[in-house]
Amino acid sequence: MFSQIEEVEKRLNTLEYELSRPEIIQQQNLYQKYRKEHVSLLPLVDAFRKYKATEERIRETQSLLRDPDREIKELAQAEIESLKHALAKLEDELGLLLLPKDPRDEKNSILEIRAGTGGEEAALFAADLFRMYCHYIEKKGWKVDILSQSPTGLGGFKEIIALVEGDSIYSRLKYESGVHRVQRVPETDAQGRIHTSAVTVAVLPEAEEVDVSIDPADIRVDVFRSSGPGGQSVNTTDSAVRITHVPTGLVVSCQDEKSQHKNKAKAMKVLRSRLLDMQEEEQRAKVSEDRKSMVGKGDRSEKIRTYNFPQGRVTDHRVGLTIYRLDGVLQGELDLILNPILAHFKAESGKGQANLVS
């Protein structure tokens, strides 16, 4: 294992040298490629360096066991036991970091949020969730580009679709897919009763043209005038685009841009990502049931999370996590939830790999 990590460390050192060269910085495509690879390798190398440093501290402390002073020897022994415990944890961490990565982890993501059961209250919560993700995206230094939206008169969304661009986005957001449930008193309820509504979230890796080949003969493109709440947001030309993928029946519409060409480009982004997800879902369906039970998958058909406003709590049902920081989560402090979830699914993946090998 360690010889493999040493090779990764050499590669990281090479990348750091390349990223410091002015001629590489001037070639932005190459620079971004190297930077993304550097970001992906750094956690493994950091953990390896901590492991080696801990080993060295153990060796240094062991020399104190020969000291004639009994108190010093006892302190040294306690320190060694503590360092060995830390070393074991680092070894487990290295094992997890060496697991095969999802090749989609480094991709940008298509974020789709749709109001489910609950009428206007569900649409309002869809808007709340979108704002929550936007706060998180801003904190991470990522970018968000709205591809399509269907607003309601009260400020909610029947549906909103956005492209999120940045480093390792899919690896952070991929387990957000599923049903998000809200429990609160709606603004529209004059009697102050708590309602339960639901919103579905889907996070898809952005598919490039090389990932999914779409035959032009398989799509039907319709153009129409965009609709909206009124005013300047309603176009007076047929700039909105609806694309139908005939073999699968998938339909994607986009009307946010005033340019028909831009709307078509955005709709094609969504269509490619949905087709890629459909293909991968078919492949996952062929995997054996025991493999499915070994590795958690965050199925988007599951109820994954509840946001309870009266109690100020958020509960993720997959990992049994409850935190009383609802306001913070809605302001983008999503790592409070995402870090434990990612650790859980990574550990489950590690168990699955070990069981398959044995």
| Whether 328 contacts 338, CB under 8 Å | no
Position 344 confidence tier, pLDDT thresholds 50, 70, 90: confident
Give the angle 259-158-162 at the CA atoms, nearest 5°: 50
The residue type at 172: R
pLDDT at 289: 45
Q: Does residue 192 share a domain with residue 52?
A: no
- Nearest Cα neighbor of 123 from 163, 155, 148 is 155
Contact residues for 194 (Cβ-Cβ < 8 A; gap 6+): 183, 184, 185, 310
| Whether 198 contacts 181, CB under 8 Å | yes
Does a structural domain hold residue 291?
no
Does a structural domain hold residue 103?
no
Position 213 confidence tier, pLDDT thresholds 50, 70, 90: confident
pLDDT at 350: 56
Bigger pLDDT: 305 vs 96: 305
CATH code assigned at 164: 3.30.70.1660
Strand partners, 200: 114, 179
What is the pTM assigned to this prediction? Answer: 0.64
Does residue 231 surpass a pLDDT of 50?
no
- Nearest Cα neighbor of 227 from 162, 149, 155 is 149
Does residue 293 surpass a pLDDT of 90?
no
Q: Does residue 347 share a domain with residue 303?
A: yes
Does a structural domain hold residue 315?
yes
Question: Which secondary-structure segment (H or E) carries 112?
Answer: strand 109-115
9-18, 86-95, 103-112, 286-295: segment of lowest average pLDDT: 286-295
Other beta carbons within 10 Å of 305 = 22
Q: Does residue 338 share a domain with residue 312?
A: yes
Overall number of domains in the chain: 3
DSSP 132-157: HHHHHHHHHT-EEEEEEEEE-TTS-E
Does residue 101 surpass a pLDDT of 50?
yes
User: Which whole-number Å values give the CA distances from 161 to 13, 149, 266, in the listed order?
Assistant: 39, 6, 10
SS3 per residue for 29-88: HHHHHHHHHHHHHHHHHHHHHHHHHHHHHHHHHHHHHHCCCHHHHHHHHHHHHHHHHHHH
Does residue 232 surpass a pLDDT of 50?
no
Tens of pLDDT, residues 191-200: 778 899 999 9
Q: Does residue 161 share a domain with residue 263?
A: no
Q: Does residue 348 share a domain with residue 231?
A: no
Does a structural domain hold residue 293?
no
CATH code assigned at 279: 3.30.160.20
Chosen domain end from 97, 124, 149: 97
Q: What is the mean pLDDT of the chain?
A: 85
Q: Which two tokens stand for residue 39?
A: 């970001």
Residue 51 dihedral angles phi and psi, to the nearest 5°: -60, -50
Residues 233-242, buried b or exposed e (16+ Cβ, 10 A)?
eebeeebbbb
Position 201 confidence tier, pLDDT thresholds 50, 70, 90: very high
Q: Does residue 185 share a domain with residue 125?
A: yes
Does a structural domain hold residue 31?
yes
Strand partners, 180: 199, 305
Q: Does residue 243 share a domain with residue 116?
A: no
Does residue 292 surpass a pLDDT of 50?
no
Q: Does residue 347 share a domain with residue 324?
A: yes
pLDDT at 105: 83
Tens of pLDDT, residues 242-284: 999 999 999 998 887 888 888 998 999 899 899 988 887 776 6
Q: Does residue 82 share a domain with residue 40?
A: yes
Domain holding 90, by residue range, is: 2-97
